[in-house]
Amino acid sequence: MTIIDNYRKYTSRSLSLYREARSVMPYGVSSNYRYWEPYPIYLVKGKGSRVWDVDGNEYIDFNMGFGVLEVGHSHPRIVEEVRRAVEDSTILGFEYEKSVELAKIICNRYNVDMVRFSSTGTEATMHAIRIARAYTKRKKIIKFEGHYHGSHDQLLINVNPMRLESRVPTSPGIPEETLSNTLVADWNDYEGFERLVRVHGNDVAAVIMEPVAMNMGLIPADLDFLKGVFDLARDYGFLVIFDEVKTGGKFYSGASGYYGLKPDLVTLGKAIAGGLPLSVVAGRRDVLGVVGPGRVAHGGTFNANPLSVRVAIVTLRDILTEGAFYYMNSLSEELQKGYEDIADDLDIDLIVNRWGVSGTIIPAEIPPKNYKEIVRNTDFKTYSLYFYSMLTQKIIPMAYQEQWTISIAHTSEDIRNHIEKAYDTFKLIKSRGSSIYSELNLPDIEETW
């Protein structure tokens, strides 16, 4: 029985539900990132470090809501807070009193002057570049290839192109005119970034980046590269935006605190609200000061809704403490070491990158520094076999081609289980050689990455 046959065997009800779902939802899902060939699994509940699918399979979850659930699934403190919050209304329309308390917590924790709340990361980055343009009175935005900043048109370019060209829109339906002021640079390539700035710098409003790239596996920034970007921004008068929707929850004070850098604007989301939708645009007082009635537009009916605000306060104040991060980091380091031992024991090419509570594996010989190197050097077929094999062994190792997230609900036993299953997987792949690739019987994985 092939790996894919095994996957089909254990997920037959997911297949049935997929066939039903795709008649009423494109590809049977509500987000493109939840779909994979031949069909996705459908989950019904989560508790702690576990989730269950419609077939009754219990998985140890290392995806954790694409990095949202560092508090774990259904944390009892959050369940209780939501229950109490619902009794006081899920939305009030006018400003909620506790949004002030949350704003102060975020300002202190992330070393920012002011904040504005939204609901999703997409909204936060969209508003951040609007604010930057208004503040600088310039139009152009620089982003890095392979970095993802949400699904609004202005930054959906060169997110994950398999054609390594200079400008590749990520989706049909995006007019070239919309992208005409979006410039693309290579991650960790200071010389290339400097050349781009020399040509366009006086027209650039901001550079936006994931300070640790987490939508092309996981590629940390070179610190000298980051400092060089900050220096050029200062020289040419454009802003630096850290998109910390993911990284803001990987260390106690995010990448800004980790690197000891203070960007002009920071966007936050995901883990900071313990599983509820909340995002933040934060930064310098003078930059955020352009927002207001009759000035820069920022609105949203569900901004700072009572449920998200109350849960975020509990999450940041009481649950994701410095002690919690020490615990999660130690488990993440343990998982990293396990994968490194697998690579050594089996003598296979496997790059293991970790940053804080998250990490990833890249089947490659040389550690990639940017997106182009990932595309050129990664063995995508091996990764695909690994992913399906881990699912059939009841481990969700990470989101596809992204990274694991450790929560406070995970245990050392969870880590050992993960490592044992990963060892068995890579041992099987190696023992059966290149013939195992025929088991995929799927569209070319590079076309769907």
The answer to whether the beta carbons of residues 355 and 212 sit under 8 Å apart is yes
Which residues are CB-neighbours of 365 under 8 A, at least 6 positions away? 349, 377
Length of the chain: 449
Catalytic residue among 189, 243, 264, 414: 243
Q: In the 8-state DSSP scheme, what is residue 214?
A: -
Dist. CA 82–CA 61, nearest whole Å: 23
The answer to whether the beta carbons of residues 357 and 332 sit under 8 Å apart is yes
243 is catalytic: yes
Strand residues in 212-366 grouped as ranges (E):
212-213, 219-220, 239-244, 265-268, 279-283, 351-355, 358-362
Dist. CA 348–CA 340, nearest whole Å: 10
Residue 216: closest CA among 84, 371, 79: 371
Pairing of strands 265-268, 279-283: antiparallel
Catalytic residue among 143, 270, 369, 421: 270
Dist. CA 164–CA 184, nearest whole Å: 12
- For residue 41, how many C-alpha atoms fall within 13 Å in the half-sphere facing its CB? 26
Dist. CA 115–CA 102, nearest whole Å: 10
3-state SS assignment for residue 118: strand
Token pair 């006086």 is at which residue?
202
3-state SS assignment for residue 308: helix
Residue 250: closest CA among 212, 277, 281, 283: 212
Catalytic residue among 7, 59, 135, 148: 148
Q: Show which residues are catalytic.
A: 148, 243, 270
